[in-house]
Amino acid sequence: MSEPTAAHEEQGAVISTQGLTKRYRGGQLAVEGLDLSVPRGSVFGFLGPNGSGKTTTIRMLLGLIEPTGGSAHVLGEPMPGSARRVLPHVGALIEGPALYGYLTGRENLLRYDAADPTADPRSRAARADRALERVGLSAAAAKKARAYSLGMKQRLGLAAALLQPRELLVLDEPTNGLDPQGMREIRSLVRELADDGITVFLSSHLLDEIEQVCTHTAVMHRGRLITQGTVAQMSAGARGRLAVTTPDPGEATRVLKEAGVADLVTDGEEVSGEPPHAHELADLNAALVRAGVRVRAFGLRRASLEDVFVSLTGEGFDVAG
């Protein structure tokens, strides 16, 4: 087994990949030349439409499949070569947890714990109870898992991933299929885990989810990385849109067009467009008022990750890869 590669951890990267590539046997190039760097302590959102290569990347990071090119380091060690040493420090939840419906939540956790050869049986019950408490399932611990909602099942899966202390949690689409309440629960749980110092790497095809919970993000498109950085940097990098709310959208559109505002879109009482570089926003507002347009609200809307994606790929976010 090789020694930890200090260089990767020195940079503070919990996950780093260099030219990571996967071509499936059928010839499908699922991931191509991926250079990823996940800082320690981040909540890292791995974002991309369905089919963009997220699950394939996660499976390579966890050593479940071999890359066909490039390399990956997790916790400073090469994967899949050091999987046996690395994986005990990594909690993972991919493709929903495997649960026995006829067992209670607590019994399911005891089973998971018993499957871990390094777990001391004498402290098993205490570990299961602590994990249940951490994910807010103590009150439902004695219920059969088949009576759990999807959100509760997902939290039980997280509890299983948290039986041992972890440095890194890898979650593949953790809120997929959940109702809004279930989504909120998982998101707040992710924030709590991050506050406890665990680095969280989660994949999602939901832009607002990444904006709500993540500090950093990497955006995939057709197997390639198109950008990565902090969520704040990314939104700041893309230009926001000028948005005017008015009961006179027709007249507002005319005035704004004359003032050089491009890509004007009217949606009910809101007119939005690309703010012109040369213009002071105050002058635009003054022009509207001079023309008799009644302005209810006027301002720049922060760019969303969707704006970033569209500006980088020229495609909407709903594309199937």
Ligand X SMILES: Nc1ncnc2c1ncn2[C@@H]1O[C@H](COP(=O)(O)OP(=O)(O)OP(=O)(O)O)[C@@H](O)[C@H]1O
List residues near ligand X by CB under 6 A.
24, 26, 28, 30, 48, 50-56, 205, 321
Q: Which residues, including other chains, have CB under 8 Å from residue 65's CB and lie 6 or more apart?
A: 22, 56, 59
* 30 versus 169: smaller Cβ distance to ligand X: 30
Q: Is 173 exposed, middle or buried (0-12, 13-18, 19+ CB in 10 A)?
A: buried
Cβ 173 to ligand X shortest distance, Å = 6
Cβ 26 to ligand X shortest distance, Å = 5
Cβ 206 to ligand X shortest distance, Å = 11
Tokens encoding 254: 């005319």
Euclidean distance between CA atoms 12 and 149, whole angstroms: 38
**Cβ distance 85 to 118 under 8 Å?**
no
* 28 versus 123: smaller Cβ distance to ligand X: 28
* 81 versus 321: smaller Cβ distance to ligand X: 321
* 61 versus 131: smaller Cβ distance to ligand X: 61
Shortest CA distance to 271 belongs to which of 259, 208, 207, 237?
259
Euclidean distance between CA atoms 118 and 83, whole angstroms: 15
Euclidean distance between CA atoms 43 and 249, whole angstroms: 41
Please name the residue that has the structure tokens 């759990």. 148
**Cβ distance 166 to 91 under 8 Å?**
yes
* 8 versus 22: smaller Cβ distance to ligand X: 22
Cβ 52 to ligand X shortest distance, Å = 4
Cβ 223 to ligand X shortest distance, Å = 6
* 219 versus 308: smaller Cβ distance to ligand X: 219
Cβ 318 to ligand X shortest distance, Å = 12
Q: 85 vs 89, 117, 300, CA distance in Å? A: 8, 13, 50
DSSP output for 250-265? HHHHHHHHHTT-EEEE
Identify the three-state secondary structure at position 112: helix
DSSP 89: G
Cβ 23 to ligand X shortest distance, Å = 9
* 53 versus 151: smaller Cβ distance to ligand X: 53
Euclidean distance between CA atoms 213 and 155, whole angstroms: 17
